[in-house]
Amino acid sequence: MREDAEPLPLAARAAKIPSRQWLRLGSPLLLLALWQVCATEGWVSSHTLASPSQVVTSLWGLLIDGTLPHHLLVSLGRVAKGMAFAIVAGGALALISGLSRIGEYAIDAPIQMLRTLPVLALIPFFILWFGIGELPKVALIGVAATFPIYLTLYAGIRGVDTKLIEVAKVINLPRGALIRHVILPAALPSGLVGLRYAIGVSWLILVVVEQINATSGIGYLMNDARDFMRTDIMLVGLLVYATLGLVVDIVVRYLERRLLAWRPSLLGNS
């Protein structure tokens, strides 16, 4: 290449980028093809790992007979109840701790201690306290999801620009209006990040709690399939969990764009 050769214009270089986007789709498809070939040739037993075609067939069958929708609705209900508790509890604790020095002294230290405990180690205690029904499952999801919401919202409240607080004081803005119109909007981006983390944690905990004395749910479906060595159904369950996580993340991102439309960074990307 000649040293005096002019580089491609920015527009020309940008035009070449979409032509390479097929590589993002091509590599996963290649892996699926290799997986299918290994299963078809008998190099991988279906009892060890079902082929993609078996997974698709099982997925279709579970959809047609209503088994998958039933278990999916049960799992979504558990996550929704747990997240509702986490949002209320984590949000309330973050507001008390973030807006009050006394509240910080009373709440933040215990929360910091409790969040380091492995949630799964609490399963025996929750069964002892709440029985073996739905309550311990929902409670575990709620407790695990509370900490990300608390931590991020608390950090967002404490990280509000002091200049905004000073301006509010100069115009004699009441404390209630200061919280509603200044502090909470400024802390909302951090709170939404915590919501995304909390939802991810809730799916992880759901996988575990639905395999403990459950009679319904995606986790129960996978656990039952494990007893019969149905790796195809187990992979269907994993696929459902992954898809739900992606869909929920897309929904939260949409909420971010709607609720944070006032931010210049988001306006510039729209």
Residue 222 lies in a domain: yes
Q: Residues near 132 by Cβ (< 8 Å), separated by ≥ 6?
A: 213
Which distant-in-sequence residues (6+ apart) come within 8 Å of 92 by Cβ? none
Domain membership of residue 96 (yes or no) is: yes
pLDDT at site 267: 45
- The total of structural domains in the chain comes to 1
214 contact partners, CB below 8 Å, separation of at least 6: 137, 220, 223
Report if residue 33 sits inside a domain.
Answer: no
Residue 14 maps to a domain: no
Examine residue 95 and state whether it is found in any structural domain, yes or no: yes
Nearest CA to 259 among 184, 199, 201? 184
Annotate 231-263 with b (16+ C-beta within 10 A) or e (fewer). Answer: bbbbbbbeebbeebeeebeeeeeeebeeeeeee
In a domain, 26, yes or no: no
CA distance 62 to 68: 5
**23 inside domain:** no
Reduced to 3 states (helix: H, G, I; strand: E, B; else coil), residue 160 is coil
Rounded mean pLDDT for each run of 10 residues along the chain, 270 residues in total: 49 50 66 76 72 84 89 91 93 88 85 84 86 87 92 86 72 73 80 88 86 82 84 87 83 79 54
Predicted TM-score (pTM) above 0.85: no
Whether 18 is in a domain gets the answer: no
Q: How far apart are CA 32 and CA 121, in angstroms?
A: 37
Per-residue model confidence as pLDDT tens digits over 24-77: 666 677 777 787 787 777 777 666 777 788 888 888 988 898 888 998 999 999
CATH of the domain at 210: 1.10.3720.10
- For residue 104, give its domain range: 52-269
The string of DSSP codes covering 30-78 is HHHHHHHHHHHTTSS-TTTS--HHHHHHHHHHHHHTTHHHHHHHHHHHH
